[in-house]
Amino acid sequence: MSANHSTPSVSYSFTMRLAYPNHVGTLARIVNTIGKEGGDIGAVDIVASDTKGMTRDITVRPRDAAHQEQIIARVRRLSGVKVINVSDRVLLLHLGGKIAIQNKVPLVTRDALSMAYTPGVARVCEAIAAQPSKAWQLTIKGNSVAVVSDGTAVLGLGDIGPEAAMPVMEGKAMLFKEFAGIDAYPICLRTKNALEIIATVKHLSVGFGGINLEDISAPRCFDIERELQAQLDIPVFHDDQHGTAVVVLAALLNALRLTRQKLERLRIVISGAGAAGMAVARILLRGGARDIVACDREGVLHEGRLPNLNESKAWLVRHTNPRNLRGRIQDALRDANVFIGVSGPGTLQAKHLRRMAPKSIVFALANPTPEIMPEEAARYAFIVATGRSDYPNQINNVLAFPGIFRGALNVRSTQITESMKQAAARAIAACIAPRELSAEYIVPSVFNRQVVQRVAAAVQRAALQAGVAGKRK
């Protein structure tokens, strides 16, 4: 199956600056050419104009990078039309980075400076030295999260290094601030050594109320998270695992309301046995699922493969596949109710979904190109979800982590427990009223401001009940 996107995407949008004779019909010729090539035209702006010539900026959304080049090449071939410049709108948006630090206290007088810095700040230092817990009130600690990555598992790009991971970590910090009012800081480490990562994060944790691990490859991510949580008294949360799992559970709970099925009776197939696959299996099992089959590149994980599996995949074998199925993923799909893809593009073909049970549910979450394109999956599946924003039912971690950390910080939770994750998932699901549910609306919009509030409140209650809250609200 082709990995090309089937619809234009703003994530590849570009702007062409074109110069051409100021003749009636020339713009129509340009627009028609772009349309025939499958480009989606956005803004059309005049840059300069006189009786002889016209200069315009035309913004276009292509399917992907190759499609962009195809459109530009076709426009270049138009007689009388000159392509002066092409700007990638996504790269322009990232120029200089996407975040900045802003002072909360105006420094406009000598008195303000004396209180914010020397000599007044010394009294604040002494107060914290006498009682270190006051750092929660008197510094940024109580509203700060470190977003930490080593760049080894960035999006679907893999191990691309810490510098290349920075744009994603900045984006994560933006989401924390925009949706939960949390100050988050991107920290990319130039090491892949698990012990060095653990030591580094432990030492820099002083100024943070929580640690969000991001884009760290499996199976190292499991050890790093576990060890850091054991050594720190603030939450350590690997979002690629738990954020994905929380939103998957929320979406599945709402999907089951439509299909009138019970989680306990479902046959579930998970494609991908890395960090996200492990976490999805764990949260579904804790939620009541009994029949999960996990698959990796070699096919179904079963007892016969145990000698050759790492610790995390061995855990999956011990806790899933109760019928001891063997074979390829398409074999596991026979009579399955749910497919959850957290693997890579092109894993499935539409014909494989014909083997699933009636009213099947397909979550193809590989990003940016899913295991199967939604329009293909919809030929056989009753409900389809992806990780993309240009299709209905986007299963996006931003529905989970801002509210989870907001709730955890509000009560100074020392960790994020399984019960807190379950509470977050059910809060997300409850954001859609029964009368609003449909096959194309099983998860709320990421711009629904009620989501963070409801998730935070649910997480706070769960933290208090679990006994991990450092203060009572």
Is residue 98 scored above 80 in pLDDT?
A: yes
Q: Tell me the residue type at 30.
A: I
Cα 444 to the chain's mean position, in Å? Answer: 15
pLDDT > 90: what percent of the chain?
81
- Span 242-261, mean pLDDT? 96
As beta bridge partners, residue 44 has 58
**ω into 119 cis (within 30 of 0):** yes
| CB neighbour burial string for 379-388, b if at least 16 within 10 angstroms, e if fewer | ebbbbbbbbb
- Span 74-85, mean pLDDT? 94
Is residue 341 scored above 90 in pLDDT?
A: yes
- What confidence score (pLDDT) does residue 423 get? 97
Q: Which two tokens stand for residue 204?
A: 């820099």
Q: Which two tokens stand for residue 448?
A: 């629904």
Catalytic member of 141, 172, 313, 421: 172
Q: What's the pLDDT band for 75 if we cut at 50, 70, 90? A: very high
Is residue 159 scored above 50 in pLDDT?
A: yes
Name the 3-class secondary structure at 269: strand
* Three-state SS sequence of 392-414: CCECCHHHCHHHHHHHHHHCCCC
- What confidence score (pLDDT) does residue 6 get? 65
Q: What is the DSSP letter of 12?
A: G
Sign for the CA dihedral angle at 338, 267, 418, 472 comes to: positive
Between residues 6 and 398, the one the model is more confident about: 398
- Span 43-49, mean pLDDT? 91
Q: Which runs of E-coded beta strand occur in 82-174?
A: 82-88, 144-149
- Span 210-239, mean pLDDT? 95
- Span 434-463, mean pLDDT? 95
- What confidence score (pLDDT) does residue 173 get? 96
Is residue 300 scored above 70 in pLDDT?
A: yes
Enumerate residues 6+ apart whose C-beta is below 8 A from 332.
Answer: 269, 293, 295, 300, 325
Cα 416 to the chain's mean position, in Å? Answer: 18
Catalytic member of 117, 262, 351, 471: 117
| CB neighbour burial string for 10-48, b if at least 16 within 10 angstroms, e if fewer | eebbbbbbbbbeeeeebbeebeebbeebebbeeeeeeee
- What confidence score (pLDDT) does residue 319 get? 94
Is residue 390 scored above 90 in pLDDT?
A: no
Q: What's the pLDDT band for 473 if we cut at 50, 70, 90? A: low
Give the Cβ contact number of residue 66 at 10 Å: 10
Give the CA angle between residues 132, 120, 183 to the nearest 5°: 55
**ω into 368 cis (within 30 of 0):** yes
Residue 52 designated active-site: no
- Span 182-205, mean pLDDT? 97
- What confidence score (pLDDT) does residue 327 get? 93
Mean pLDDT rounded to a whole number for the chain: 93
Give the tens place of pLDDT for each residue, 343-380. Answer: 988 889 899 999 999 999 999 998 878 999 999 999 99
pLDDT > 70: what percent of the chain?
98
CA atoms of 256 and 287, how far apart (whole Å): 13
Q: Tell me the residue type at 289.
A: A
Do 399 and 428 contact (CB within 8 A), yes or no?
Answer: yes
Q: If we measure between CA atoms, which residue out of 63, 60, 54, 74 comes closest to residue 16? A: 60
- Span 218-234, mean pLDDT? 94
Residue 172 designated active-site: yes
CA atoms of 382 and 359, how far apart (whole Å): 5
- What confidence score (pLDDT) does residue 7 get? 77
- What confidence score (pLDDT) does residue 56 get? 94
- Span 57-62, mean pLDDT? 94
Is residue 188 scored above 90 in pLDDT?
A: yes
Among 96-110, 162-176, 188-202, the least confident range: 96-110
- Span 1-28, mean pLDDT? 80
Rounded to two decimals, the pTM is 0.88
- What confidence score (pLDDT) does residue 244 get? 93
Is residue 216 scored above 60 in pLDDT?
A: yes
Give the Cβ contact number of residue 436 at 10 Å: 10
- What confidence score (pLDDT) does residue 252 get? 97
Q: What's the pLDDT band for 51 if we cut at 50, 70, 90? A: confident
- Span 244-268, mean pLDDT? 96
Which conformational region is residue 234 in: left (phi greater than 0), alpha (psi within -120 to 50 degrees), or beta?
beta
Q: What's the pLDDT band for 3 if we cut at 50, 70, 90? A: very low
Sign for the CA dihedral angle at 438, 444, 449, 455 comes to: positive
Expressed in angstroms, the distance from the first to the final Cα of the chain is: 53
- What confidence score (pLDDT) does residue 2 get? 38
- What confidence score (pLDDT) does residue 472 get? 64
Among 24-28, 61-65, 283-287, 468-472, the least confident range: 468-472
